[in-house]
Structure 1
Amino acid sequence: MDSEPKKDVEVAPALIAVHPDQCSVAVAVGQHLRVFDLAAGDAASLTDDSDAVAFHTDNIRAICFGAKGKLFVSAGDDKTVKVWSTQSWRCITTVSSEKRVSAVAISNDGNFVCFADKFGLVWIVDLDPPSRDKKPSPLLSHYCSIITSLEFSPDGRFILSADRDFKIRVTNLPNKPLNGAHQIQSFCLGHSEFVSCLAFVQGQECPEGLLLSGSGDSTVRLWNVDSGALFDTCEVALKAGLLEDNGKAEEHGHAVTDICTVLDGLLVAVAIQSLQGIILLSCNVSEKTLSVTKVVSVVGEAFVPTCLGSSPSTGKLWMVTGVSSLPGCSYPALARVRVISDIDIEQEPVVLGDDNIPGGEKLLETLQGTASVDDNAFLAAAEAVKTAMCHLLIKKQYPSENRESRKKCRNDRKLKG
């Protein structure tokens, strides 16, 4: 009998989110949620009126600001979704999930929060009026496929959900979403590995927005959400020199981990596993094409971004690298924040030193913690995140002779009464 490989310790990557007006920056690593108020120049004081001992009791897997910046959501492995007011940083709503939460999104009007779980279900919560405890309503399902990303379209017509089975579903958002969203507008099909992230890019020629997606197949793709048509594909890992011309993305070493629009969508920042820096793409909305503008490297330290964030109009890109519960490491949660400034189509971006980052040393102490960590720990963190993503999102392939024996050991079969 073939023995299965020993399961690695499950870790979670560090996450970052930036207020739409760059009023505040939030970092989540492990169960820790850290927020710095850039307007006040100090750490935000988070409060929760519930009886919870801690805000979150397990790894945080998803954070985001609402489009208007009034709300912030955090959720994760503790099966809890928390909605925060960004004016007071008080938790105004706590939602319990039946499964671990893998993605969150806030509707453009701020009336609804959606979250997805690892069983493939998307739930919706009505925030009007806000209350401490809310019960979610089922919105749609991906049928047992882990949902990796959720996004509302800029015009509010659709909610988009991506999963580990290579597909992106575009669903019409009804007037009464609490009754469920049953009408599928399109599927965006073309990725050959899990879809890891979604983002929208807009322009005067296309106010409804075009969809961007990143994937484990080392590509970023541009889509029409109405029809599901693929406009363009950019082989970002190949363009960055991480793959040879005959390189195979099936090695799973160069997955796109995050994408983020900068300068109102004129440029798109892309984070890739193994790349110590980011790739900047130019998106031509009128011609519906993607092209690599430049590769921005972070020199002087081991920095492989795990998450990206920016406010729409600023020329600054915020990046974080880190991981929770790194095996064999004395640090319980690692996080390192860097900022790229002067991002523009014509000029060369600048990776800011710690002294020049908005908020300065105080911000770094708040978001990173006070412990000094060497480069070897962050290199180990990058490898741990890569392994964890591979185990979570890449389906295991078993020989045909093993499938029947595995079916007999399934624990999700219905038991006879």
Structure 2
Amino acid sequence: MLHLRCGLLAVAGGSRLVAGRIRSDEPFFVFDFGSLERRPPGRQDPSDQEKILAAAFSSSGEYFALTDENKRLVLFKTSPSWEKISVRWLSRRCTALAFSPCDSRVLVADKSGDVFSFSVKAAQEDGRLELGHLSMLLDLVAALDGRHIITCDRDEKIRVSLWGAPHVITAFCLGHTEFVSQLVLPAGREKLLLSGSGDGTLRLWRYETGQELQNCRISSIPRPENDQEDKVGPIPPSLGFAVFRIRCCPRGEKVAVLCDGVHGIYLLSISDSPRLFQPLYVALPYVPVDVDFEDSTSLWVFSAIKENPIELLQYREQRWQPVPRDDRMKELSEVIRGSWEQMEGSVVLENRFSALYKAVFDNMASYLQKKEARIQTEKRKFSNGQEGSTAKIQKA
């Protein structure tokens, strides 16, 4: 996972967090989840692992939160230097994290469909239940006005709930035909929501009313004519393209999209209309693990290549291209390589969502096949009965 906010960068994977300021001479902060205490005896789960599941910066960048498979919520303060300030236990494994707009609470979505919130200031305070779904939650965001919590689940639904009264659902954003994997609120675009799904689409909504403004099928974005498939790897069939990451630049006018197993990045712009336009595919010689914007013309990429784990793309001369690594990038790469053994096992490049697609059973075909077999059996019985009757008459 790669996250940028307010000049800060965090790379998390496996049991390691590497973080620090992008433009600074300060050493990078390295934290190992293996150093944390595990659950008390009797409450431990044999399947628990030291693996980070979700992470998020607060809107101001002052706080950073992580959860892992040991059901721990770890909160860090980033200023004046990175420091762990609390560790709290969750009842279930987390699927997504988000901070409230004023940085006062951390929202945690879990696999059972519940959303809990935890106080940032009261570090030892237990979480409180905010809302629940009947399906596994995959992502959530808190609206900048502080009035709404927006959640998405495995059952193709996007739900908009009132924060103060979460039992009040103000709207559903319906249209996806597979699980909804990602939600993003573009900065500076009031009441707009972007969603990505296993159906291979990126959709733009007015979330307060549930109105779909645009449906962009990722597979329809053209590839450059000079892009050679054998160089960057095959593009999945149109039924693939499951969206697993959406990032917006700080001003909200650029969008980056990653799809499961695709060797490249899809980039789009958001107009004032609002519409998604200027779709572009940027081919890479590897499958990116994660991306995030530093600004509208700078895009950081995290890869699964140990020799070059972090790369910066900038928009220059009418195209996106990698820039030479400066001393700070070399230092960051060296620190990541030093934690590679702990991070490498968590890097997933494809089939992230294979367990989320619902199996389709053609019961009618099975029924018709069994019906035809019964008809043929009855015909044979009838035919054998007629032959027996004829034989008796002839004998008489």
TM-score in same-fold range (> 0.5): yes
2:170 to 156, 178, 185: 185
Would you say the 8 A contact 1:259–1:270 is kept in 2? yes
The answer to whether structure 1 residue 171 and structure 2 residue 161 are counterparts is yes
Alpha-carbon spacing, 1:335–1:226, altered in 2? closer, same or farther (3 Å): farther
Superposition pairs for residues 12-411 of structure 1, below 5 Å?
Answer: 15-19=1-5, 21-22=6-7, 24-38=8-22, 39-46=24-31, 52=37, 57-87=49-79, 88-127=81-120, 129-131=121-123, 133-143=124-134, 145-174=135-164, 181-203=166-188, 206=189, 208-240=190-222, 248-249=238-239, 253-262=240-249, 264-284=251-271, 286-298=272-284, 301=285, 303-311=286-294, 313=295, 315-322=297-304, 336-342=309-315, 347-353=318-324, 355-356=325-326, 359-369=328-338, 385-391=349-355, 393-397=356-360
Q: CA RMSD in A?
A: 3.1
2: CA distance, partners of 1:277 / 1:82: 32
Name the SS for the 1:359 alignment partner.
Answer: helix
- With CA pairs under 8 Å and 6+ residues apart, which has the higher RCO, 1 or 2? 1
2:200 aligned counterpart, secondary structure: coil
Determine the C-alpha separation between the residues in 1 that align with 2:204 and 2:26: 38
SS in structure 2 of the partner of residue 342 of structure 1:
strand
Q: Please report how far the alpha carbon of residue 398 of structure 1 lies from its aligned counterpart in structure 2 after TM superposition.
A: 5.4
The answer as to whether partners of 2:16 and 2:32 remain within 8 angstroms in 1 is no
Distance in 1 (alpha carbons) for counterparts of 2:99 and 2:266:
27
Q: AA paired with 2:141? A: E
The separation in 2 between residues aligned to 1:195 and 1:146, in whole angstroms, is 10
Give the CA deviation at 1:317. 1.4
Q: Percent identity?
A: 28
Aligned residues: 341
* Superposition TM-score, scaled by structure 2 size: 0.77
For residues 214 and 260 of structure 1, the distance between their equivalents in structure 2, rounded to whole angstroms, comes to: 11
Mapped to 1, the partners of 2:314 and 2:111 lie a distance apart of 36
| Partner Cα distance (2:36, 2:339) in 1 | 28
Q: Distance in 1 between matches of 2:222 and 2:176?
A: 19
Q: Which ranges of structure 1 fall in alignment gaps of 5 or more residues?
A: 1-14, 175-179, 324-330, 373-377, 402-417
State the distance in 2 between where 1:314 and 1:304 align: 22
C-alpha distance in 2 between matches for 1:272 and 1:181: 32
Structure 2 unaligned residues grouped into runs of 5+? 40-47, 224-233, 365-396
Cα separation, 2, equivalents of 1:290 and 1:33 = 34
